[in-house]
Structure 1
Amino acid sequence: MLALHRVEPASALHADRATYQDRLIFHTPEWLSFVAECQRAEPVLAILRDDYTTVGHFTGLLARRYGLRILGSPMAGWTTSYLGFNLRPGVSRRAAMQALTRFAFDDLGCAHLEVRDRGATEADLAGLGLRWDAAPTAVIDLSPGEDALFGAMTGACRRNIRKAAKSGVVVEEAEPGPAFADEFYDQLRDVFAKQNLVPTYSVERVRSLIRHLAPAGRISLLRARDGEGRCIATAVLPWYHRTMYFWGGASYREHQHLRPNEALIWHALRWAKARGVTEFDFVGGNAYKAKYGTTEVAVPWARQSRSPLVARLRDTAKQAYAWKQRTAALLTRP
């Protein structure tokens, strides 16, 4: 039977993590430091053993909310994705999930567990007492040539990219730092204001992300300027190994007719492809992303609580957060 054993971050066993083919940026020390800082959470790293043989690793963070210990891998609202497991080929993800519930509730004494594992399917979760949402994501295979990638987009999307170029929109790579974070966040406020909302996180989270990932060269920051040199759109794109992720994009409403958002994505796809990246992940399945020629991939978001009361508290907290966000928007509206 598979079992998880917690290990210290400095353990020599973690050198083994880098050898797994399913390792993602979200499993790296830099990313975990970012999430831990923003969520006041403690990284939880564990090895998965089959008797005495290490067959995988688990990554999560331990946080305390309302006096309860929760294990998030990740939790909703953490602006991170696909923590979960790194497994050797042939190791059952279903068996790993069973080991995780024992580890979370028995070993760590948690009241609630959430996990989103990039390799898991609904079949891996069925019958384990977990609740889950489908939570699909939209991805683009970057293996084809540039002409094929461009041709896979809808006609309207291709026209918008051409329009941006004809209108003088230029995309540049920005220097990492607080100045870019402030630019992005100002535009993000404008995006949310369109729906009478406010951003779900502060500018400090953007600064933290850049601060932790930039020294390792694991983030691309793009800025779109109009013909007069004004910054009208930005994009934040972490990347590692084979995948680039769309962490965030924003633009001013008054300049969206110039189509800078499509220009940013097209630039990002080519930038990533030139560096050997083979997949672009939008980290979500919103309908507007389909115009880029995406394929939908199901990545279940599973959760389990020690008691029905804790499950209700989790759902109530999520609803309360949405209400708080709308109320804040009304209070800050000019």
Structure 2
Amino acid sequence: MKFTRLPYDLVDWQRLDAFEDRTFSQRKAWLDFICETQSGEPVVAQLTDGNETLGFFSGVRIKRMGFSIMGSPFPGWTTPYMGFNLAPGVSRTSAVSALIPFVFRDLKCHHLEIADPFLDREDMVELGFHVRTGQTFRSDLTLPEDELFNRMDSACRRCIRKAAKSGVTVEEADAEGFPAEYYQQLLDVFAKQDLKPTYRQERVEALIKHYHGTGNLLLLRARNADGQSIATGIYPGFNKISFFWGNASFREHQHVRPNETLHWHAMQHWKKRGIESHYWGNGGEYKRKYGGDQVPFMEFRLSRGAATAVARDTAKALYFYGRNVRKHVLALTRSLLAT
């Protein structure tokens, strides 16, 4: 088996999108979204054994601190799963074995990061990968709607009923003006803890610009009884999987429970579209109340040397904490100058 990189403008996207294990975040529009927001270079590679095509790999190559990183995806990209699309019966472990020389020898990368829901932890460890395991929740949208609703805890169900009694309505929103509306509410959410969002409004604008046109990005708005927008949500989906990407609301209106209603509407929407599983993203104990099954979320990483691993962790830390780090450095500098 071996991987060969395909010219990006010659990729047969319709063929790739037809794979049974294809997810929304492997599609061209999502790769373009990542490349714009991360200054990255898209990589699509074909896996072959002789003349037979066995599948494909999708990722984005970025440069950080002088190191070349292959992310499929990389932390901070607001992207859950990427990895492989393989024909039935093709071993994912064998595909990873073929990917390693492709990434490090052919593409001359220093680091590889991959999250694919079908990879086996023990096999990846044997191949030399380090594993980071988190937890997420997954709602089974194949269940009857009544059962899906009843799997939520009683308090969550009461919240949804309260929203309806309070006159809260949910509508699908147009792309025009939505990023600013969503981000204004997101700032209010983070302000509650004296924090700022980990991404800027431009990230939301890029996501909608690239992916909304596919018809697989659900933008929701909740209005109160007076017609005011009080909460918004973003939910991509494709093939068998939908995903909770982001949600925001004004704190002064949270007592009428618009957030629970948004999430329930999103689950109903994707269920009607034939989606089988709704993923809730990393962390967040509050997500348990929606009745999903708790499942592991695993990220696998492999580096060429200890220095690369350190650089990778530094790049991640600067993404999530960069503004705070700079603030503390400036404060320390000022204090030293004052002495």
Following TM superposition, by how much is the alpha carbon of 1:319 offset from its aligned partner in structure 2, in angstroms? 3.0
Contact 1:116 1:301 in 2 (8 A): yes
Aligned residue in 1 for 2:260 = 262
Give the Cα–Cα distance (whole angstroms) in 1 for the partners of residues 309 and 35 of structure 2: 23
Provide the aligned C-alpha RMSD in A.
Answer: 1.8
Tell me if 1:175 matches 2:174. yes
Aligned residue in 1 for 2:72 = 73
Aligned residue in 2 for 1:130 = 129
Tell me if 1:242 matches 2:240. yes
Unmatched runs of 5 consecutive residues or more in structure 1: none
Choose which of 173, 193, 203 in structure 1 pairs with 2:191: 193
Quick one: percent identity of the two aligned structures? 45
SS in 1 for 2:128: coil
1:250-289 equivalences in 2 (<5 Å): 250-289=248-287
Aligned residue in 2 for 1:212 = 210
Contact 1:285 1:296 in 2 (8 A): no
Aligned residue in 2 for 1:45 = 44
Following TM superposition, by how much is the alpha carbon of 1:99 offset from its aligned partner in structure 2, in angstroms? 1.4
Give the Cα–Cα distance (whole angstroms) in 1 for the partners of residues 168 and 178 of structure 2: 18
CA distance 1:40–1:287, change in 2 (3 Å): same
CA distance 1:291–1:302, change in 2 (3 Å): same
Equivalenced residue count is 329
Give the Cα–Cα distance (whole angstroms) in 2 for the partners of residues 154 and 267 of structure 1: 16
Aligned residue in 2 for 1:318 = 316
Give the Cα–Cα distance (whole angstroms) in 2 for the partners of residues 184 and 212 of structure 1: 17
Following TM superposition, by how much is the alpha carbon of 1:279 offset from its aligned partner in structure 2, in angstroms? 1.8
Give the Cα–Cα distance (whole angstroms) in 2 for the partners of residues 297 and 291 of structure 1: 15
Aligned residue in 1 for 2:161 = 162
Following TM superposition, by how much is the alpha carbon of 1:25 offset from its aligned partner in structure 2, in angstroms? 0.8
Following TM superposition, by how much is the alpha carbon of 1:137 offset from its aligned partner in structure 2, in angstroms? 2.6
Letter in 2 for 1:235: G
CA distance 1:275–1:134, change in 2 (3 Å): same
Contact 1:120 1:299 in 2 (8 A): no
Aligned residue in 2 for 1:146 = 145
SS in 2 for 1:255: helix
Following TM superposition, by how much is the alpha carbon of 1:328 offset from its aligned partner in structure 2, in angstroms? 7.8
CA distance 1:329–1:66, change in 2 (3 Å): closer
CA deviation map 1:291-326 (0-9, x unaligned): 111012223101111110111122233334444344
Give the Cα–Cα distance (whole angstroms) in 2 for the partners of residues 264 and 51 of structure 1: 49
CA distance 1:231–1:175, change in 2 (3 Å): same
Following TM superposition, by how much is the alpha carbon of 1:26 offset from its aligned partner in structure 2, in angstroms? 1.1
TM-score by length of 1: 0.93
Letter in 2 for 1:139: R
Unmatched runs of 5 consecutive residues or more in structure 2: 331-339
Aligned residue in 2 for 1:11 = 10
CA deviation map 1:32-52 (0-9, x unaligned): 111111111110000111233
Give the Cα–Cα distance (whole angstroms) in 1 for the partners of residues 189 and 242 of structure 2: 23
1:79-98 equivalences in 2 (<5 Å): 79-98=78-97
1:295-310 equivalences in 2 (<5 Å): 295-310=293-308
CA distance 1:322–1:217, change in 2 (3 Å): closer
CA distance 1:317–1:28, change in 2 (3 Å): closer
Following TM superposition, by how much is the alpha carbon of 1:329 offset from its aligned partner in structure 2, in angstroms? 8.9
Following TM superposition, by how much is the alpha carbon of 1:243 offset from its aligned partner in structure 2, in angstroms? 2.1
Contact 1:200 1:325 in 2 (8 A): no
Give the Cα–Cα distance (whole angstroms) in 2 for the partners of residues 322 and 144 of structure 1: 37
SS in 2 for 1:90: coil
TM-score by length of 2: 0.92
Select between 79-88 and 10-19 the one with higher mean Cα deviation: 10-19
Letter in 2 for 1:137: T
Following TM superposition, by how much is the alpha carbon of 1:215 offset from its aligned partner in structure 2, in angstroms? 1.6
